[in-house]
Chain A
Amino acid sequence: MKPLHRMIVLSSTYRMVSSGGHAIDRRAGGINPPIRTTRAASPAVEAASPAVEIGGLTPPARRNQHVDPDNRYLWRMNSRRMEAEIVRDSVLATSGALDISPGGPETPESEGQTVFRRSLYFRLTPNEKMKLLELFDAADPNQCYRRRESVVPQQSLALFNSGLAIDRARALAATLSAEAAASGEPGGEAGFVVTAFESVLSRAPTNEERIACERFLTEHTELLQHPTRTPFAGTGGAKRPPAPDPRQRARENLLLVLYNHNDFVTIR
C-alpha cells in the first residue's frame, strides 16, 4: 500500500489547493505556478492559473466552478472538516496539554472536558458518547457507515462555550505571555498576535488579520474595563478563571476566537 499512498499524495492532483486548482505553498509565502493535472480531466475543465483574480477566484477557476461546481473532475482539492477526535485533540495539542501516552483502559466519556488524553481513548458506546465529539459527527459505535461533515450552530456553541475550549484558551494565553516575557523580547500586542496565529492555526497572520487582531486587543481591553457588563447565566464548564488583568484577558479571548476560526477546523 505504501507505494500507492506515496503516488497519491505526491500527485499534482492531490496537491492542488482547495481554492482554485493551483498548487500552493504557504511557507514560501505565495502561490506556485499552475500545475496541470496528469489525470485525464474533462476537456471542459481547465487547470487554473493565478493570473488575474476577481472575487478571490481566477477566471479558469470561475469557469470550472460553473462547469463543475461539485468538483467531480478534481480541478481543485476538496476542503474537509476535521473529524471530531481531531478537533478536540487539536485544541489540546495546540495549547500544549494533549496527553499522547498510548494504550491503557478506556476513559469515561464524562471526563472529556477535564482529562486530556487523546479522544481515541474515551468510551464510545450507543449510550455513552462524549457530547463534544458527537456534535462533530463522531463515528457511530454500532455501525460502520461513512461519517458526515455537518455544520450546525451547536458546534459553534461547543467551541465557544465548552469548558475545554475556554480553559485551554486561557491556559495558552498564560503560556504565550510568559514565554514572551521570558524571552526578553515581549514584542507587544503585534508579537502576541503572530505567535497566537502560529500556535493555533499553524500559520502567520496576513497583514490585514494582524491589524484586525491588534485593534481587537486594544478595544477589548477597554471593553473589559467598562464597569457595566452582563454576565451569562449558569456556571458553564470552565474550571480556570479568567485573568484579572484586562489586557491578559483580552489575549485569552483572542485565542478563543482563533479556536473558533474556520481555518482551525478546516483541512484545505
Chain B
Amino acid sequence: MQHPFPCGRINRRAFLADSGMGFTGLALGAMLHQDGIARADEPTAVPPLTKGGPGGVVGQPHDAPRAKSVIWFFMLGGTSHLESFDPKPALDQYAGKTIDESPYKGAVVDSPFYRKNVRDFAGVPRDLMPTLYPTQVAFRKRGMSGIEVSDWWPHVGGCIDDIAVIRSMWTTDNDHAAQLQFHTGRHIFDGFYPSIGSWVHYGLGSAGNNLPQFVVMGQPPGDCCGGVGTHDGSYLGPEHSGVELALDPAAPLPFGTPGNTVTVEERRSQLDLLERLNQLAGVEYPADAALRARVKAYELAFRMQMSVPEVVRLEDETAETHNLYGLNDPAAGTVARQSLVARRLVERGVRFVQIYHGGGGGGSWDAHSNLKDNHQKMCAQVDRPIAGLLKDLQRRGLLDETLVVWATEFGRTPGSERSNGRDHHPYGFSVWMAGGGLKGGLVHGATDDLGFHAVEHRHYVTDVHATLLHQLGLDPRRLAVPGQKRLDIDYGEPIHEIIG
C-alpha cells in the first residue's frame, strides 16, 4: 500500500484547509473579506459593521431591528381583492355592463399601466374581461378603524386594527408563475432568483439553535409556477433554501428516526466520522457550495431529528389555544396546526416561516368559475387560523417582534370570465402585513373605481420584501454576493407609510 505521508502526518493541503478559517468558512470567508459583503453566518473575522460602510457583523442585522421573525402566508392561485380587502360598489352598480358601457370607459385600457409591464406566459395578451361582475360577498366596517373587510374574512376582519392593508399591489406576470415572482421579485422569464425567505436567512443567518431558520409548511406551487423556487436559495446556495416541515408529530420529517435498533450515541459517533471524511475529501473543493451545504445539512439533520418532534407536538397547548386557532374545525384544522406550529417556531427563534395555502398546479384559489363557492371554502380554511395566530402573538407579546404577511400572486378581474368567476389580475390587488413594528388599522394605496389598476401609492412585489427586510434591520442594497448583479427593481422600497 502506498504510504505518502508516513508517521500519520497530514498533507499540506489538508493542513491549510483545516487551519485558519476552517473548512466551511474557507471559500466564503475569503469572498466576504475581499468584497466587504455584509452577511451573517459563520463567526468569521469580518470587521465590525459601521453604518454605510462595508463589512458585517456576524449574526447581526445592518440596522437596529424592529422585528425578529416573519410569518408569511401565501395564497396560491390568486385571491380576489374584490371579495376580500378592496370593496368596489361600482361593480354592483354596473354589473352585467361592459367596461365601455360604464362611466369608466378609458380608465382601464387607456391607462398607462394597462399592459405596460405585463409579460404574458402564452406570448399573447390575456383577453380583457369586459363584462363587469358583481361583488360576490358583502363587506362591513370592522374594528375601531372601520376598515371594510368582506364577510368571508370575519376573523381576520376582527383583527383589522392590527393590520396594514395594502390595496395597490401590481406585478408583471399574468399567469401563476407570478407566485415565483412574488417571492423572487423577477418574472419567470428572467429565471430563478433567491426567494425572500432565503435572503432573510442569508442576511440574518442561523441563530445557532436546533431548528432550521427558514421553515416551509403546506404544499408549494406546482412546477409550472416556480415550484420550490418560491422558497429556494438560488445563487445564495442551497443552504439558504427553506426546509419543508410536516405536521405529523410521529413523523414531522420524512425519515425522522432510524428506529429503536439504533442508539443516539452510535449515530453521534457516525456523524463525527462523516464530518471528518467529508472534510478530508473536500480539501480539493473549497468552493463547492453543495459540499458545504451537505456538511451543514447533516449536522442540522441530527439536531432537527432530536428537536422537531417537540415543536409539532401540539398537545402541550391548552384547549383554549386549540380553539383560538380552530384546530378542531374540519375546514380550518390543517392551517390551524400550521399556524400554531409557526408561533412555536418563532418562539424558538426561527427567522422565516412560510405557509403555502392551496398549493399544487396553478393553485386552488384560482376561481375562473364558481368564485363564490371556491373563495367561501378557501377562506374558511385560513380565516380563523390566521386571526388566531395574530391574537395569540398579540397576547404573548410576540406580535411586536413578529411580522405577519398575507399575500397572493395577483388579484382577480373586475369582469367575469364569461361565467361565475374572475380571471387573473396583475394590475391591482391587495396584500396585508401586521406586527413587527408596522402600523395597524390602516389602508395604504388604492385601486381605481373598478378595482382594475392600482392608482395610488403603487407597489411592486419587492416593496413588500423591502418593508420586511427594513423591519428586520436589513438593507437590501447591502445584501449581495460577488458576481451577482441585482437590479433596482429587485431591492424595492420600504413602504414607509405603514412603518410605525
Contacts and interface: CB of A to CB of B under 8 A. Distances in A.
Question: Are A and B physically bound partners?
Answer: yes
Given A207-B4, A223-B265, A263-B281, A55 B297 contact: no
B266 A224 contact: yes
A53 interface: yes
A176 to B, nearest CB: 17
A212 B280 contact: yes
A154 B259 contact: no
Given A148-B228, A153-B304, A257-B273, A166 B262 contact: yes
Interface string A67-85: 0011000000001010000
A55 B241 contact: no
B116 to A, nearest CB: 29
A157 B305 contact: yes
A18 B304 CA distance: 31
B232 A232 contact: no
B441 interface: no
B266 A253 contact: yes
Interface residues of A, number: 77
Nearest to A213: B273
Nearest to B239: A151
Interface string A41-74: 0000000000001111100000001100110000
Nearest to A149: B290
B243 A79 contact: no
Contacts of B301: 153-154, 156-157, 160
B285 A18 contact: yes
Contact of A266 (B223, B253, B291, B297): B291
A143 B16 contact: no
Contact of A56 (B232, B239, B284, B293): B284
A38 interface: no
Nearest to A131: B254
B238 to A, nearest CB: 4
A140 B223 CA distance: 8
Contacts of A262: 278, 281-282, 291, 294-295
Interface string B1-31: 1111100101111101100000000110001
Contacts of B270: 160, 220, 253, 256-257
Nearest to B19: A55
Nearest to B272: A216
B241 A152 contact: yes
Nearest to B8: A211
Contacts of B261: 231, 236, 238, 241-242
Given A150-B228, A229-B263, A143 B291 contact: no
Given A257-B273, A262-B291, A263-B281, A226 B265 contact: yes
A112 interface: no
A222 B147 CA distance: 69
B254 A158 contact: yes
Given A53-B12, A157-B255, A230-B265, A209 B212 contact: no
A55 B13 contact: yes
A148 B26 CA distance: 26
B284 A232 contact: no
B199 to A, nearest CB: 17
22 contacts: A69-B482, A69-B483, A143-B223, A152-B297, A153-B212, A155-B297, A160-B255, A161-B259, A207-B5, A208-B280, A216-B273, A220-B266, A231-B261, A234-B259, A236-B260, A238-B258, A242-B261, A253-B269, A257-B274, A260-B274, A262-B278, A262-B282
Question: Which are the 7 A-B pairs with shortest beta-carbon distances?
Answer: A236-B259, A156-B301, A153-B301, A19-B284, A151-B293, A151-B238, A229-B263
